[in-house]
Structure 1
Amino acid sequence: MHETILCTVAPSPTNPGPGYISVHDIQTGTSLASFKQNNATSHCTASLESKNGLGGLVMSAQQDKSILNVYNFQKDQLALKIVLPEKLTCIALDPSGDFCAGGSAQGRIYLWEIASGILYNAWHAHYRQVNVLRFTQDGAALVSGSEDSAVSIWEMARLLDDELQNDLPTPYCILSDHTLPVTDILCGVGPFPSCRILSASIDHSVKIWDPSTNTLLTTFSFPKPISHLAWDPTERIFFAASSGAEGEVYQVNLFRRVNLGKGKGVIGSGGSRELEAIGGKGVSDVIRVGEEDDSEGNRKRLMTVGQQITSLALSLTSTLLIVGTQAGTINIYDVPSHQLVRSISSHKGLAITYLTTMLRPSDLVGHVNGSLGIGVSGGGGGEVAGMCGRVVVPFERSRDGKRREGHEVGMILPFLGTTNRIDPTDYPYSELIVDHAFFVQPPSSTNVNSSQPNLQGKVTELESEVKYLREQLGKAKGVNDAMWENIVKKVVLKYDQAKEGEELSDQQLEERRRKRGRS
């Protein structure tokens, strides 16, 4: 398993040079691929992995113009430039790769279908700039965080409903317990609304929400404003990076060990220690991360990077923490020990504005996996055999109802479990033996004898058909030969006549010259 780091490198105040997108090996730090022409700030890049026979892609909204750059892993050049209605401050791609959402400085949110470019919805979602957009893991909801300190949840079913296109979209719920701008949002595992949502703000807090009840579960208070989050997929721990120049990352455990007392446990006679979840008491449940409280068993650990943090991510196994800085370095820390394992400094002077981890794409340019039977086709290097590139069409800048009405949307219905299906584990061994004997037994003599007359009749019929076809073929050859001889004779005759005419005309001219000479 080759895990890689995908990072976005953007110009910094100290280095206004061109930005790009780079792919690194997480074990060695070596650069595997690079995609040029990029100038995206934080939350303005989104990516999709290569899977299910479809190649991956990266979308990046440029901060200096209303342009969306599209890249795919199959070639190192810019695949498409999309002109947008206005500059975007954040974008997000749903997990299935069907829709792209973008937020603007005016508080508007746009929702496009990637394969058709249709603008399905555009509405004023917030009073101020939209800072971050996230889709839930199942793509059923879109979560937005804004400068107005609100976190809004939008149901995709309502945003895509044809009957509601003339109505202003209403959020599923608004989570408004933050007091300052929201800086980052993460969605937990599970289908919406059963999943949990993590939000960070400049008000020094990180909050955990329950969308199913629209309630606040727990508030974590930090000494400094929080700018970026990383959440373990098992939801045991999360990391919060401060926005200061010191570059501090806080590890917050969402569990603690509880001593059950003597005689109540199974680990020795001195008692045992079990794990219990932290928080969940509602609005009044505030846990201060900067203050150690050993009596409650809260283990909050601090990592100091020494540079301003601009992006944060966890490895696929959640054993490594990847930190991107304003100075252009990517630091990789071991989560259990908090030791610096590796530092990638090939982007010094530029800012790391986006980080994510993924398995090395099988269609990555220059690193095509030959063991999977995949090779670059001859069609200009844009496609890889066995891996199709995703269809991306330039996005609409305004809503077109007629185009949407004429558009057919393909979908895969989920398996509901109502159809009759044979479970392999329900196949009895006795029936397996009987079926096996039936299929492998040699044909009986009675069956052979009974089938011989039928076979002989078929052979006789086929022989007569072959004889008839041969006769027809001979007639066709005769007709063809007659036509050929007739045409050739006509052509030769015309040629001879024309030649005789030319010779006769030459003799007449010579005769006239002689007569003129006598006179």
Structure 2
Amino acid sequence: MEVVLASSSLDGGIGCWDLHTGAEQLRYKSCSSPSHGLVAVGPRFIASSQLREPSATSGSVLFWSWSKPQVEVKSFPAEPIKPLASNHLGTFIAGGALSGDIYLWEVETGRLLKKWHAHLGAVTCLVFSEDDSLLVSGSRDGTVRVWSLFMIFDEFRGQLANNLYEYSFSGHTLCVTDVVIGNGGCNAIIVSASEDKTCKVWSLSRGTLLRNIVFPSHIDSIALDPAEHVFYAGSRDGKIFIAALSTESVASNNCGMHIIGSFSNQSKTVTCLAYSMSGNLLISGSEDGMVRVWDARTRTNVRVFKHAKGPVNNILVVRRENSSNHISSNVQTSSRKQGANLPPPLEKYANSIHEDSDMNTTITLGGDRSSVDLSYLSSHVISNYVKELQHQGSAAASEMETEKLKHDYQRAMQMANQWKKMYENLNKFCVKELLDGSQARTLDENHN
């Protein structure tokens, strides 16, 4: 079953509907989420950051199990968290802070694995790549940055590098409102939206701007067509624009260039977008509190859901399956005895859990992917995960590493050629000096 989740900045809870029948499912209570602050953590949990006021100096992260409407785990990070992102298996959760820092936690133990300063301004959006080796962040300072988990957790390389990020895209002049990443590992494209009324398409392999699209209104949300021929942009004038994608480097500042259409039946801001490949459906959330389902081919509205309260600012499309397909029998038995197998609260500071308090829990968090048994070791989980990704040869990381090696090889060859030329010049000079000295001695002997 494919469901739509929607939340609001007001305390309207989290609405849940069957995408294809329209039937309302369980409504989750007590949620006031900021934009990009709602995430499905694997197939077992829902998590949301909480900011009661935009200028709040503290906040929380809440967890719900799918089967109960009440909040079951409350976490209080060291500072307010706005955007959240989870890797596909639901083993890690990343949070972006108002200070510009990014936090990365292990879900099963709640351990804070890493924290680093990512942007000068507040982090506004976060997304993992399809292979989970890269994390892309957008900020209020207008930058979009790409982070490799290999670099983040490799302290030796991190000390040698000038920057921890792989790329820093700084083409936007105002706050970044949304970021999406396509398929293809390091050959993927990144599309970013900003309050400067532009969406920019970036090449992950080249690290360059491919396309700049100027819109007649502010864009707050974007969604990629799975085939990546077009992307959809939700605007503050209530329209959903369709923009053409291309790998060609065609940057233009002409308003309307590359916009091939638009559709809407509303006048309020389109605050969030999501795409379902099942039936080619586009789902939009709006400031008017409505969730609309669109047929992407015909651009017609096929279904409408009403959120309980306030403007909708987050939309998720999640495929739910029976828990028996995801949770091993021993965990099910434990769950029946002790309730849902929920994670502990997220740590406020790093290393606040004693190293000897390792816990081993085998569960499956497969999502849409094939189920994989994972053994969580709280003190070594991230290093093992990175080693596994490296062993499997993550396309993004491998190709980036290859490019770096090529660059290093070229520099080494240039230095070798320079040394070779210097050696040849020195050799010629020495030979010349020896010959000149020999000739001078011969002339002296003949003269005497």
TM bin, normalised by shorter chain, reads 0.7 to 0.9
Write the distance in 2 (CA, Å) between the matches of 1:416 and 1:140: 11
Give runs of aligned pairs for residues 310-349 of structure 1, distance below 5 A.
310-317=271-278, 319-345=280-306, 347=307, 349=309
Q: Which of residues 136, 148, 158 is equivalent to 2:141?
A: 148
Q: Which of residues 349, 357, 366 is equivalent to 1:398?
A: 349
Change (3 A) 1:416 1:336: closer
Write the distance in 2 (CA, Å) between the matches of 1:23 and 1:178: 35
Alignment: residue pair count:
359
Change (3 A) 1:98 1:416: closer
Write the distance in 2 (CA, Å) between the matches of 1:160 and 1:404: 18
Q: Which of residues 183, 205, 209 is equivalent to 1:189?
A: 183
Q: 1:454-492: CA deviations, max 9, x gaps?
A: xxxxxxxxxxxxxxxxxxxxxxxxxxxxxxxxxxxxxxx
Q: Is 1:109 paired with 2:81?
A: no
Write the distance in 1 (CA, Å) between the matches of 2:67 and 2:163: 38
Give runs of aligned pairs for residues 473-512 of structure 1, distance below 5 A.
none
What secondary structure is seen at the aligned counterpart in 1 of 2:26?
strand
Q: 1:253-294: CA deviations, max 9, x gaps?
A: 33xxxxxxxxxxxxxxxxxxxxxxx35225xx22756368xx
Q: Which of residues 175, 199, 210 is equivalent to 1:206?
A: 199
Write the distance in 2 (CA, Å) between the matches of 1:224 and 1:202: 9
Does the CA contact (< 8 Å) of 2:42 and 2:89 recur in 1? no
Change (3 A) 1:290 1:169: closer
Partner of 1:281: 249
Q: Is 1:33 paired with 2:5?
A: no
- Unaligned 5+ runs, structure 2: 53-57, 359-378, 394-448
Partner of 1:432: none
Does the CA contact (< 8 Å) of 2:141 and 2:174 recur in 1? yes
What secondary structure is seen at the aligned counterpart in 2 of 1:134?
strand
Question: Following TM superposition, by how much is the alpha carbon of 1:163 offset from its aligned partner in structure 2, in angstroms?
Answer: 4.3
Partner of 2:267: 306
Does the CA contact (< 8 Å) of 1:248 and 1:305 recur in 2? yes
Does the CA contact (< 8 Å) of 2:144 and 2:168 recur in 1? yes
Partner of 1:4: 3
Change (3 A) 1:218 1:394: same
Question: Following TM superposition, by how much is the alpha carbon of 1:144 offset from its aligned partner in structure 2, in angstroms?
Answer: 0.9
Write the distance in 2 (CA, Å) between the matches of 1:343 and 1:401: 46
Partner of 2:365: none
Q: Which of residues 211, 214, 219 is equivalent to 1:218?
A: 211
Question: Following TM superposition, by how much is the alpha carbon of 1:124 offset from its aligned partner in structure 2, in angstroms?
Answer: 2.0
Q: Is 1:177 paired with 2:171?
A: yes
Change (3 A) 1:304 1:189: same
Question: Following TM superposition, by how much is the alpha carbon of 1:6 offset from its aligned partner in structure 2, in angstroms?
Answer: 1.5
Write the distance in 2 (CA, Å) between the matches of 1:349 and 1:232: 30
Write the distance in 2 (CA, Å) between the matches of 1:403 and 1:233: 44
Amino acid at match of 1:187: I
Write the distance in 1 (CA, Å) between the matches of 2:355 and 2:93: 16
Question: Following TM superposition, by how much is the alpha carbon of 1:175 offset from its aligned partner in structure 2, in angstroms?
Answer: 0.5
Give runs of aligned pairs for residues 7-86 of structure 1, distance below 5 A.
7-11=6-10, 18-50=11-43, 56-64=44-52, 65-86=58-79
Q: Which of residues 242, 245, 252 is equivalent to 1:251?
A: 242
Amino acid at match of 1:281: S
Partner of 1:92: 85
Write the distance in 2 (CA, Å) between the matches of 1:90 and 1:416: 29
Change (3 A) 1:305 1:381: farther
Q: Is 1:232 paired with 2:225?
A: yes
Write the distance in 2 (CA, Å) between the matches of 1:198 and 1:170: 21
What secondary structure is seen at the aligned counterpart in 1 of 2:30?
strand
Write the distance in 1 (CA, Å) between the matches of 2:130 and 2:257: 33
Write the distance in 1 (CA, Å) between the matches of 2:242 and 2:278: 16
Change (3 A) 1:348 1:288: farther
What secondary structure is seen at the aligned counterpart in 2 of 1:32?
coil
Amino acid at match of 2:120: Y
Amino acid at match of 2:51: Q
Amino acid at match of 1:235: E
Does the CA contact (< 8 Å) of 1:249 and 1:304 recur in 2? no
Amino acid at match of 2:8: V
Write the distance in 2 (CA, Å) between the matches of 1:331 and 1:110: 33
Partner of 2:441: none
Root-mean-square deviation over aligned CA pairs: 3.1
Amino acid at match of 2:289: G
Identity score, percent: 28
Write the distance in 1 (CA, Å) between the matches of 2:166 and 2:332: 46
Does the CA contact (< 8 Å) of 2:199 and 2:213 recur in 1? yes
Which structure has the larger Rg? 1
Change (3 A) 1:103 1:234: same
- Unaligned 5+ runs, structure 1: 12-17, 51-55, 255-277, 293-297, 384-388, 418-519
Write the distance in 2 (CA, Å) between the matches of 1:403 and 1:171: 30
Change (3 A) 1:40 1:401: closer
Amino acid at match of 2:339: G
Write the distance in 2 (CA, Å) between the matches of 1:188 and 1:408: 30
Write the distance in 2 (CA, Å) between the matches of 1:402 and 1:75: 28
Change (3 A) 1:397 1:165: farther
Partner of 2:312: 352
Give runs of aligned pairs for residues 435-474 of structure 1, distance below 5 A.
none
Question: Following TM superposition, by how much is the alpha carbon of 1:188 offset from its aligned partner in structure 2, in angstroms?
Answer: 0.6
Q: 1:367-393: CA deviations, max 9, x gaps?
A: x99xxx9x986826834xxxxx4x623
Question: Following TM superposition, by how much is the alpha carbon of 1:208 offset from its aligned partner in structure 2, in angstroms?
Answer: 0.9
Does the CA contact (< 8 Å) of 1:10 and 1:20 recur in 2? no
| TM-score, with length taken from structure 1 | 0.63
Partner of 1:450: none
